[in-house]
A and B are shown apart, each in its own frame.
Chain A
Amino acid sequence: AQKITQTQPGMFVQEKEAVTLDCTYDTSDQSYGLFWYKQPSSGEMIFLIYQGSYDEQNATEGRYSLNFQKARKSANLVISASQLGDSAMYFCAMREGLPLVFGKGTRLSVIA
């Protein structure tokens, strides 16, 4: 079974609008961490945001927020006020134990 599921292979959003990228995870551990990374066309992996399983508040970093719903095992990324530079692949990842397990990614395209 997949540990991380990203059901949206591709998404389009109008510039300046908000967009939600979905991520669900599967774990039986009580302690785990959830990450989102951005990969632009240049190829590098850029860390965006982190949520710990015991964090009661949703994580926020500038225009990025993580909508953490523990009972539903979802950790959706919300990008507010989309910009053209947000066009990229976005990966959700989970730390369960030591290494990270990544989802297959969602390609976001921002339209002017």
Chain B
Amino acid sequence: NAGVTQTPKFRVLKTGQSMTLLCAQDMNHEYMYWYRQDPGMGLRLIHYSVGEGTTAKGEVPDGYNVSRLKKQNFLLGLESAAPSQTSVYFCASSYQSPDTQYFGPGTRLTVL
């Protein structure tokens, strides 16, 4: 039981490049979330999903897209990376809405 895993752990991009972050969970959770963490800002929700095939916008969705084609996977895409997207990205999942969220180890992304 690996819990929540994230790929990759580190990545450096140039402005304008694209990439996809992968989140996988093996706990059969319905809900999955993507957050970004910036210094002094806490965690802010980018997008979330309440089940396979569904996605919704969070607090800071601009510049990101997501897909939940399989229940266990939640992908975060950056189509044209910008320096403002330099951050640590966390994926989380929960069984249901009021339940505890379990976090992945994070992905540190730098956009030059």
Residue A99 contacts which of B33, B42, B88 (CB distance < 8 angstroms)? B33
Size of chain A's interface in residues, with CB distance under 8 A?
22
Asked if A44 lies at the interface with its beta carbon under 8 angstroms from chain B, I say yes
Residue B97 contacts which of A37, A52, A95, A104 (CB distance < 8 angstroms)? A95
Contact with B along A94-112 (1 / 0, CB 8 A): 0100111111110000000
The answer to whether B42 touches A100 (Cβ under 8 A) is no
Contact with A along B92-112 (1 / 0, CB 8 A): 100001101111111000000
Size of chain B's interface in residues, with CB distance under 8 A?
26
A-B contact pairs, 8 of them (CB 8 A): A35-B100, A43-B105, A93-B43, A95-B97, A98-B31, A100-B45, A100-B101, A102-B44
The answer to whether B92 touches A33 (Cβ under 8 A) is no
The answer to whether B101 touches A47 (Cβ under 8 A) is yes
Asked if A18 lies at the interface with its beta carbon under 8 angstroms from chain B, I say no
Asked if B74 lies at the interface with its beta carbon under 8 angstroms from chain A, I say no
**Which residue of A has the minimal Cβ distance to B31?**
A98
Instruction: Give the distance to chain A from B104, nearest Cβ to Cβ, in Å.
Output: 8
Asked if B50 lies at the interface with its beta carbon under 8 angstroms from chain A, I say yes
The answer to whether A102 touches B42 (Cβ under 8 A) is yes
B33, B41, B58, B103: residue with the most chain A Cβ atoms closer than 10 Å: B103
The answer to whether A104 touches B48 (Cβ under 8 A) is no
**Which residue of A has the minimal Cβ distance to B35?**
A102
The answer to whether A99 touches B58 (Cβ under 8 A) is yes
Asked if A50 lies at the interface with its beta carbon under 8 angstroms from chain B, I say yes
CA distance A100 to B105 in the complex (A): 18
The answer to whether B98 touches A47 (Cβ under 8 A) is no
The answer to whether B41 touches A104 (Cβ under 8 A) is yes
Instruction: Give the distance to chain A from B85, nearest Cβ to Cβ, in Å.
Output: 18
